[in-house]
Structure 1
Amino acid sequence: MKTSMLSDIQDEVMHKAELDGYIGKFLNNRYLIRDLIGKGGMGRVYLAEDAAKGGMPVAVKILSLSIDNQQISQRFGREIFIGAQLGRKSKQIARVLSYGITDEKIPFYVMEYLQGRNLKAIIKSNSLNLTKSLEILYQICLGLQCAHQGISLKGEIYPVLHRDIKPENIFIAEDPKQGDVVKILDFGIAKFLTERAGMTLTESFIGSLPYCSPEHMEGRKLIDVRSDIYSLGVLMYEMLTGQHPFALKTNSFGDWYQAHKFQVPPTFKEINPDLKIPRELQELVMTCLAKEVKNRPQDMGKILSSLERIQQLENGEVLNSTNQSYNPANVQLVPVTSISEKICLQKTWPVNKPKALICFPHLLQSTQGSIPTLWAMLPKKEIDVLVKQINNTEFIFQKNLYPLLLWVTTLCDKKFDLTRWLSYFLDMKDSKSQKIAQALVNTGYYHLLFFSLENPGKCEKVITLTLCARQRQQIIDCLESIENTKSIIELNESKNMLRLHLEKKKPEIISQLAENQRNQKFSVREWLNYAVSKVSRVVSRPVFRGKSV
């Protein structure tokens, strides 16, 4: 029986090898090609085993072109090097582990082996809802932002342009600990840009016609990161509607050029009147698809800010479904009709805590499960002002320190005359702190309970602060770093270093809060000037810490 099974397996391998000459071969005397797992216009992807690492599974992409001279070979190696650097910088970019040339002078590169599906298959399955689409888009943008910020090579910074953003190059890897993780593929064929010009010379056309920007198809010598932003816009449109923005009868270069250059994509309502896509998201997609480069978002930071705002609005709509009211400043005033908030409003200040300006976290047990809360004591006048104003949440940690997560909630009035920094250290070696951190990830929000200094009886007010995907990912990264932390830096010294990091970050936080208020009382310029003038006074205020700090 066993002999028969082994024979069948050998026959299957031999049959595959006959169909594909690479299966069963060793590349560079190291990578044993096992099976074909994907193919496209740029080449084929194989499952392989790395003999130098005990048969560890890897993915090998063999490109559909030959390298016939040393100059091209060196250039190919340089571009693979760029892909490898980006993979180390961002978890949203697939790691390039190695590269080489086959006996036939065909280039290949070796990537981390990922299990999951590419975005094209997911779009075809119609399994994307708005929440999932936003999560995927946010991670794509994080990866592209990392690439566009560039890598260091011989003392110079080289921003990297992908040039082939499409659903097939977006892979959704299944991770039992982190959930779905987006991986951008094929940075090995990317172009790097010089920092001085911010642009790249397009020597040949590389890309997929349905996703190319007009300037890319025109073969302009100078293109920049906004070409990637156009391709992202096509991808976003397809994710949200299930259809490509341009319907063509042929797949010719000329027809695609005419579409990208002159056709106006149908509105979301024209595609499907029943689609419930936030207006701001629709406008973002259409702006990315602008024909003129100058009319698109100028960088990925602008898109990420918009996506964060949209995610916050969506979280607010979910809260509204449980009879909570939404405040545009990412704060929800909590009514007594909600079970968890009713519990919060009935809480009294613990007898073992001093009546002072402190804050501390607490896991609230309710019928909705474990809900993270932050309790803070403030003067009554400050509570009345800050509860209706603007806020920011930050999570700060460093891998080389003692495993600490600095949880910072910033509360400001509209004029920045009053700013409070509520901060608390979560010791990630402590099981209670780990549970609080995990609850923040699971819920995506936390309740902030206010107690007045003058009358610390029952809770005065409760607001709900939502967390975006980036913030939840920061907590996940911290939780994952616990097992790998081997720091010799002691607890107190690590706290001091994180405090210093927060002090340096405060001006950035204030400026961001000011920018978020640009459409209210002041203009953008007035807000930024006012924020800058207040930074020195705000930074000089003491950090508001919990008792354990």
Structure 2
Amino acid sequence: MSPNKIENMVGQKVELDNYIGQFLNNRYLIRDLIGKGGMGRVYLAEDTAKGGMPIAVKILSLSLANQHMSQRFAREIFIGAQLGRKSKHIVRILSYGITEDKTPFYVMEFLQGKNLKQILKIQPLTISKFLEICNQICLGLQCAHQGISLKGEIYPIVHRDIKPENIFITEDSKQGEIIKILDFGIAKFLTERSGMTLTDSFIGSLPYCSPEHMEGRKLLDVRSDIYSLGVLMFEMLTGKHPFQIQTKSNSFGTWYQAHRFQMPPTLEEVNPQVKIPQVLEKIVMSCLAKDVSDRPQNVNQILENLERVNVQINDGITSNSSDIIKLSFPVQLVPSTLLSEKECLQKNWPKNKPVAPIGFPHLLQTTERAIPTFWAMLPKQEITKFLDKIHGTEFISKINVYPMLLWVTVLYDTQPSMTKWLPYFLDLKDNKGQNIARTLAEVGYYHLLFFAIEDPTRCSHVTTLSLTGNQRQQLIDCLDMSQHSNELIMSNQAKNLLKADYEKLKLNILQKLTADQKSETEGLKSWMDKFLEMFLKLLSRH
């Protein structure tokens, strides 16, 4: 049933929406229309299977329900479903279905708050608010650019439509403001080797498109998103767009001339009242560079520079690194990924380690700081199996009797007997254990490097696991307590106690991961294989 129009008593056309009040899949009750987009409509709905929990439902417009648009809609679901599981800064897709009139729809988390466009209409952001929001946008983009898995291969995702309307600020009772990136409807699904895309025609929002995007270049890459981010950052700081065009000439050609040839003004020229650090202005202007080679080459570089600005701003507060850690909690401001996953793939298995199913942590040095990693050797078949599964992290301790942590990485499987547990003891009495625990707390994530027993020389796959604010605080507390703890038992006895607690907690950990699996991926499994098959066919045509 499609929306239609009737005339009211005074002859005005009133739009009726026949989806409102309907049950989709005998589960989702459509309550109200809350948004319209280029591909469909978004509704507020209730999940009756979960006690009326509010959710959002996006239904493809009937007028667009041809094969090409259905494929694009399917791609939006496929990409969003994977990325939403990996990053809290990308809207989560929960389920998928088809209406009675055979129109595709998908279910996503319902967000309460405002998009960035609504906020910028009121006033530009303060520097501190800018840094907080921009950092989270970058973390979401970083996740997309790192890619999604398709039959064991990683394919980076370029959003191609970064604009204020697609940045949503939602309030979380525990974590404060959380930024979500919306709408992967025109995202570019590519391979690093060829830059191939499943959508070669121009689609995008003219005020935020990169010059190369408008030129329809086949080898569009993540630096196109970085340009769009530059436009967005300029607006966030000044309240105005970096390129001024005549309102009457809001055409493709006019915007192309602006993006390709017009030089952006300085931030101070646009808004003299806003005092912006020079280093921050350099970041924005570098993102707006016309030539892709002059921009930051990845989002990691932007995150690094934003972190430097943040440190400079707070430099007057403290210069002690341990004080900085305490100030940053429970705030979820994760520092930048200074070591890319691509760099991890170049690492070799240490010659002094046996070729066997073992795991151990290692701090990898970058030019800026050490980054925590965990190296695991497993059979190739197991590695492939766990690439798309949920990964979890737990820390178990008994600091009151001995300063030691049991760090557990969990490769989850719905069958408990098939779940893989990667435990490691961190003795906080020695410098190595202290450094690893402190670095985990400071950085807020770690890279998990997989090495195959059958081909142990080079890292075969890598994934990144984020720590929660509570986990980071737990590490800081354990480090603080370890400096004053009494060693009431020997280290071997401490390990035995932690092992016993670990065995008791395994069931709770599995139950928690099972709940996460259900809430984040409900309804995905039945259609994920279909999308995989479709995407492989589409890729094979290029």
Instruction: Say whether the 8 Å CA contact 1:58–1:110 is kept in structure 2.
Output: yes
Change (3 A) 1:270 1:21: same
Change (3 A) 1:473 1:37: farther
1:170 & 1:186 partners in 2: Cα distance? 9
Question: How far apart are residue 205 of structure 1 and its match?
Answer: 2.1
Q: Deviations over 1:71-94 (max 9, x none)?
A: 764553244122101000011111
2:496 & 2:395 partners in 1: Cα distance? 6
Question: How far apart are residue 490 of structure 1 and its match?
Answer: 7.0
Of 218, 235, 238, which residue of structure 2 is paired with 1:238? 235
1:32 & 1:111 partners in 2: Cα distance? 14
Correspondence 1:187 to 2:184: yes
2:310 corresponding residue in structure 1: 311
Correspondence 1:423 to 2:434: yes
Change (3 A) 1:296 1:475: same
* Percent of aligned pairs sharing the same letter: 65
Instruction: Say whether the 8 Å CA contact 1:396–1:406 is kept in structure 2.
Output: no
Of 389, 394, 401, which residue of structure 1 is paired with 2:394? 401
Question: How far apart are residue 309 of structure 1 and its match?
Answer: 1.1
Look up the SS of the partner of 1:226 in the other structure.
helix
Instruction: Say whether the 8 Å CA contact 1:31–1:51 is kept in structure 2.
Output: yes
Instruction: Name which of structure 1's ranges 267-276 and 65-74 shifts more when overlaid on structure 2.
Output: 65-74
Correspondence 1:203 to 2:200: yes
2:108 corresponding residue in structure 1: 111
Amino acid at match of 2:255: W
2:93 corresponding residue in structure 1: 96
Instruction: Say whether the 8 Å CA contact 2:393–2:467 is kept in structure 1.
Output: no
1:480 & 1:223 partners in 2: Cα distance? 42
Look up the SS of the partner of 1:401 in the other structure.
strand
Question: How far apart are residue 29 of structure 1 and its match?
Answer: 3.2
Change (3 A) 1:424 1:227: closer
Look up the SS of the partner of 1:187 in the other structure.
coil
Question: How far apart are residue 172 of structure 1 and its match?
Answer: 0.9
Change (3 A) 1:396 1:153: closer
Amino acid at match of 1:292: D
1:526 corresponding residue in structure 2: none
Correspondence 1:281 to 2:280: yes
Instruction: Name which of structure 1's ranges 29-38 and 61-70 shifts more when overlaid on structure 2.
Output: 61-70
2:97 & 2:79 partners in 1: Cα distance? 15
1:123 corresponding residue in structure 2: 120
Amino acid at match of 1:129: T
1:225 corresponding residue in structure 2: 222
2:90 & 2:155 partners in 1: Cα distance? 17
1:86 & 1:422 partners in 2: Cα distance? 32
Question: How far apart are residue 24 of structure 1 and its match?
Answer: 1.5
Instruction: Say whether the 8 Å CA contact 2:44–2:54 is kept in structure 1.
Output: yes
Change (3 A) 1:315 1:471: farther
Look up the SS of the partner of 2:315 in the other structure.
helix
The size of the alignment, in residue pairs, is 366
1:141 corresponding residue in structure 2: 138
Q: Deviations over 1:367-418 (max 9, x none)?
A: xxx9xxxxxxxxxxxxxxxxxxx996889999443446979xxxxxxxxxxx
Change (3 A) 1:492 1:148: same
Instruction: Say whether the 8 Å CA contact 1:159–1:198 is kept in structure 2.
Output: no
> Structure 2: which 5+ residue stretches go unaligned?
1-13, 331-366, 375-390, 398-403, 407-429, 444-463, 476-494, 503-542
Amino acid at match of 1:475: G
1:491 & 1:314 partners in 2: Cα distance? 45
Amino acid at match of 2:31: R
1:393 & 1:131 partners in 2: Cα distance? 26
2:102 & 2:27 partners in 1: Cα distance? 17
Change (3 A) 1:36 1:477: farther
2:76 & 2:176 partners in 1: Cα distance? 30
Instruction: Name which of structure 1's ranges 131-140 and 26-35 shifts more when overlaid on structure 2.
Output: 26-35
Instruction: Say whether the 8 Å CA contact 1:406–1:425 is kept in structure 2.
Output: no
Determine which structure has more spread, i.e. the larger CA radius of gyration. 1
Aligned CA-pair RMSD? 4.2
Change (3 A) 1:180 1:228: same
1:112 & 1:166 partners in 2: Cα distance? 20
Change (3 A) 1:157 1:494: farther
Q: Deviations over 1:230-255 (max 9, x none)?
A: 11111111001111111222322221
Greater relative contact order (Cα 8 A, min sep 6): structure 1 or 2? 2
